[in-house]
């Protein structure tokens, strides 16, 4: 199957720049009066519009990647792919894709004072919980798509409800980021804003050059682990583009973003970022019969209006989040409602695309199926070299997302005894909401061991530290416990499992 995407390894994002659509009207934003703001971008994006041809390319490329890929490849998430409402996509495209998120972020971070940096560090922590909820909802949608692909019965209504949950979680993540970034933006001095505007002009004109962080900035991030550092650059790059951009910039979206459940991102990463959506689509469409192509073309005609509606709804969310830039409160109920609406629209598009792709699969001959497998192997050969560090820096895999995926896998070991749903409990209490809950405090469970009840006298709550110690060696931490699980030695696996547990709520 070619190189697999191992959890925790850095890799490249597949940014589909062949289909960008600007929605909404540009709004005036006050910018510092500086010549740098007038730098011409490397790429003029005004002519990039989503049309039927580009939508067909998206569906055709997904036909290949979904039918020939794995669940792991469909689950892949790269840094910045969730809640990207802050203009980084357009910034990246205007620069001719020459900007790295970490490079722009490090230069931005170096301009900030101590308090502003600390607020960004706090924002990295603040966004963990909503980020985890969004990832878990996305994984749940992917598992339903897996069952659909396997021929099992799947309720479309249940899938749409999951989509609403995912959309609301992603919008809540955007709200958390906007609130924190808005605070930092409000504290910027005139000199800092001028420097950021100059920086933007330098990057979009392709004249950024190399940047090395000063010693004080390096010292400020030295204590962070790899995932936290990665997320710090993610939020800091958004500060740059949000403060220096316009509502029009924030409205930029790609044809590949909605319905990003079909493995195309991981396919491009595994190919060494060498494939283009249009090239793949042309080859896929060329391998299909007129009847099979008509299935996809009918799908595109059906999707057109819905896609435009999705973008218009997304624009409304961007306007709500931008209230934070004007020191206005973001309205929770508006974010939740718009998020659910976006999620339902995206789920409808995803369901339609999955149904259409499976319709094509049912019409494939054995020869066509073999040709698709050979096509994937051609772009992702078994002996393909590993990605270079230089390429991997462009858009790495989200280590936080990978951690949640790993935690979900580890949690499978817990399900024999613990039931994280509203069903019957077997041998142990539910782990829903366990992080922060009192030790031995679930009144609906009556079989706690005397040892654990005694432990509650010295450790009143299941903090993350307490859980870490217990999961490492239950019998060592609580001698006499009746829990039969032997424990997890690997620290990164314990962190992953606890991250997943944090995402569970009653």
3-class SS letters over 332-352: HHHHHHHHHHHHHHHHHHHHH
Residue 210 clears pLDDT 80, i.e. is over it: yes
Residue 370 to residue 349: CA distance in whole angstroms: 28
| CA separation for the pair 34, 126 (Å, rounded) | 34
Q: What confidence tier does 104 reach under pLDDT thresholds 50, 70, 90?
A: very high
Nearest to 88 by CA among 417, 318, 372: 318
- Asked if the structure places residue 12 within a domain, the reply is no
Q: pLDDT at position 35, please? A: 43
pLDDT at 387 over 50: no
Whether the CB-CB separation of 375 and 64 falls below 8 Å is answered with: yes
- Identify the DSSP state of 47: T
Is 496 found in the same domain as 348?
no
Residue pair 333/138 in contact (Cβ under 8 Å)? The answer is no
* Domain total in the chain: 2
What pLDDT, on the 0 to 100 scale, is given for residue 259? 73
| Average pLDDT value for residue range 272-286 | 87
Model confidence at 52, pLDDT cuts 50, 70, 90, reads confident
| DSSP state letter for 322 | G
* 20-21 vs 253-254, strand pairing mode: antiparallel
Is 406 part of any domain? Answer: no
* Rg (the chain; Cα; Å): 24
Same domain for 238 and 339: yes
Buried b (16+ CB within 10 A) or exposed e, 425-449: eeebbbbbebbebebbebeeeeebe
% of the chain with per-residue pLDDT over 70: 83
Residues 350 and 255 in one domain: yes
Residue 275, token pair as written in the block: 């494939």
Strand-pairing partners, residue 461, are: 438
Phi, psi of 31, deg, nearest 5: -125, 155
Q: Could you tell me the CA-to-CA distances from 112 to 108, 215, 218 in Å, in that order?
A: 7, 14, 13
Domain annotation covers residue 1: no
Give 46's pLDDT tier (boundaries 50, 70, 90): low
| Model pLDDT for residues 146-162, shown as the tens digit of each residue | 889 878 888 999 999 99
Q: Is there a single domain that holds both residue 247 and residue 305?
A: yes
Which secondary-structure segment (H or E) carries 21?
Answer: strand 20-21
The verdict on residue 8 lying in a domain is no
Q: What is the pLDDT of residue 155?
A: 94
Same domain, yes or no, for 331 and 429?
A: no
Q: What angle do CA 465, 469, 471 make, to 5 degrees?
A: 110
Residues 289 and 357 in one domain: yes
User: Of 450 and 383, which is predicted with more confidence?
Assistant: 450
Residue 369 makes CB contacts below 8 A (sequence gap 6+) with: none
In this predicted structure, the answer to whether residue 72 has a pLDDT above a threshold of 60 is: yes
Tell whether the model's pLDDT for residue 218 goes beyond 90: yes
pLDDT, tens digit, for every residue of 484-495? Answer: 778 888 898 898
Mean residue pLDDT of the chain comes to: 83
What is the three-class DSSP state of 101?
helix
Look-up: residue for tokens 């499976």?
Answer: 358
Average of per-residue pLDDT across 74-93: 87
| Site of tokens 């990605």 | 387
If asked whether residues 271 and 385 sit together in one domain, one would say yes
Looking at residue 416, its pLDDT comes to 52
Co-location of 367 and 481 in the same domain: no
- Domain containing residue 275: 20-398
At 78, give phi and psi (nearest 5°): -105, 165
According to DSSP, the residues that pair with 254 across neighbouring strands are 20
Query: How far is 267 from 502, CA to CA, in rounded Å?
Result: 30
Shared domain for 354 and 489, answered yes or no, is no
- Domain limit, last residue, from 398, 429, 448: 398
Which of 189-198, 402-411, 432-441 has the largest mean confidence? 189-198
Question: Is it the case that residue 139 has pLDDT exceeding 70?
Answer: yes
* Same-domain check for residues 225 and 249: yes
pLDDT at 462 over 70: yes
pLDDT given for residue 241 in this prediction = 97
User: Does residue 428 lie within any of the structural domains?
Assistant: yes
pLDDT (mean) for 82-108 = 89
Residue 224: exposure state from Cβ atoms within 10 A (0-12, 13-18, ≥19): middle
> pTM (2 decimals)?
0.74
Could you tell me if 442 and 385 lie in one domain? no
Q: Report d(CA 9, CA 7) in Å as an integer.
A: 6
2 lies in some domain = no
- pLDDT > 80? residue 382: no
Higher-confidence residue of 253 and 173: namely 173
Full DSSP string of 119-180: HHHHHHHHTHHHHHHHHHHHHHHHHHHHHHHTT----HHHHHHHHHHHHHHHHHHHHHHHHH
- The answer to whether position 143 is within a domain reads yes
Q: Report the candidate in 259, 227, 327 with the shortest Cα–Cα distance to residue 55.
A: 259
Contact by Cβ (8 Å): 2, 376 = yes
CB 310 within 8 A of CB 258: yes
Q: What is the largest CA-CA distance in the chain?
A: 72
- Looking at the chain, the number of H-run helices and the number of E-run strands are 22, 2
Across 70-84, 134-148, 319-333, 382-396, least confident range: 382-396
Contacts of 471 (CB under 8 A, 6+ apart): 487, 488, 494, 497, 498
Contact 344, 386 (CB under 8 A): no
Flag whether pLDDT at 105 surpasses 60: yes
Domain boundary, last residue among 364, 398, 432: 398
Alpha carbon distance 208, 105 (integer Å) = 13
Strands of 222-337 (E only): list them: 253-254
Looking at the fold, whether 307 and 250 belong to one and the same domain comes out as yes
Domain final residue pick, 366, 398, 430: 398
pLDDT of residue 18: 31
Has residue 237 been placed in a domain? yes
Confidence of residue 28 (pLDDT cuts 50, 70, 90): very low
Q: Where are the alpha helices (DSSP H) in 323-416?
A: 332-363, 366-379, 389-392, 399-411
Say what the pLDDT of residue 294 is. Answer: 96
CATH number of domain containing 461: 1.10.760.10
Residue 394 pLDDT more than 90? no
């Amino acid at each position: 199957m070619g190189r697999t995407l191992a959890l925790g390894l850095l890799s490249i994002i597949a940014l589909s720049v062949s289909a960008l659509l600007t929605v909404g009207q540009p709004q005036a934003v006050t910018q510092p009066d500086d010549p740098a703001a007038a730098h011409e971008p490397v790429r003029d994006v005004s002519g990039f519009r989503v049309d039927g041809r580009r939508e067909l390319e998206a569906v055709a490329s997904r036909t290949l990647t979904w039918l020939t890929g794995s669940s792991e490849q469909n689950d892949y998430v790269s840094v910045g792919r969730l809640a990207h409402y802050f203009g980084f996509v357009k910034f990246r495209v205007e620069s001719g894709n020459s900007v790295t998120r970490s490079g722009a972020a490090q230069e931005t971070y170096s301009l900030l004072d101590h308090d502003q940096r600390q607020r960004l560090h706090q924002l990295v922590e603040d966004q963990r919980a909503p980020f985890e909820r969004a990832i878990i909802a996305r994984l749940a949608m992917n598992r339903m798509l897996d069952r659909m692909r396997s021929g099992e019965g799947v309720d479309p209504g249940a899938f749409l409800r999951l989509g609403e949950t995912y959309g609301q979680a992603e919008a809540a993540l955007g709200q958390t980021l906007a609130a924190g970034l808005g605070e930092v933006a409000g504290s910027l001095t005139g000199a800092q804003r001028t420097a950021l505007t100059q920086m933007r002009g330098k990057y979009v004109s392709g004249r950024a050059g190399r940047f090395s962080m000063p010693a004080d900035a390096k010292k400020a991030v030295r204590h962070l682990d790899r995932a936290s550092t990665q997320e710090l650059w993610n939020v800091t790059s958004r500060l740059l583009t949000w403060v220096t951009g316009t509502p029009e910039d924030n409205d930029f979206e790609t044809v590949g973003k909605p319905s990003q459940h079909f493995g195309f991102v991981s396919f491009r990463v595994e190919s060494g970022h060498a494939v283009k959506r249009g090239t793949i689509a042309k080859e896929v469409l060329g391998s299909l019969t007129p009847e099979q192509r008509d299935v996809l073309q009918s799908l595109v005609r059906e999707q057109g209006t819905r896609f435009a509606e999705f973008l218009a709804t997304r624009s409304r969310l961007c306007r709500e989040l931008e209230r934070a830039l004007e020191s206005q409160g973001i309205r929770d109920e508006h974010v939740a409602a718009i998020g659910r609406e976006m999620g339902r629209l995206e789920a409808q598009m995803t369901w339609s695309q999955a149904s259409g792709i499976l319709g094509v699969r049912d019409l494939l001959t054995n020869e066509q199926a073999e040709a698709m497998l050979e096509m994937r192997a051609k772009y992702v050969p078994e002996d393909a070299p590993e990605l270079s560090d230089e390429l991997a820096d462009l858009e790495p895999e989200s280590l936080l997302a990978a951690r949640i995926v790993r935690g979900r896998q580890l949690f499978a070991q817990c399900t024999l005894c613990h039931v994280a749903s509203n069903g019957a409990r077997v041998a142990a209490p539910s782990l829903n909401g366990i992080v922060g809950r009192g030790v031995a405090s679930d009144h609906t469970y009556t079989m706690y061991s005397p040892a654990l009840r005694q432990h509650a006298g010295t450790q009143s709550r299941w903090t993350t530290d307490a859980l870490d110690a217990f999961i490492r060696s239950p019998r060592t931490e609580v001698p006499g416990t009746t829990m039969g699980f032997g424990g997890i030695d690997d620290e990164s696996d314990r962190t992953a499992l606890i991250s997943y547990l944090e995402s569970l709520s009653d």
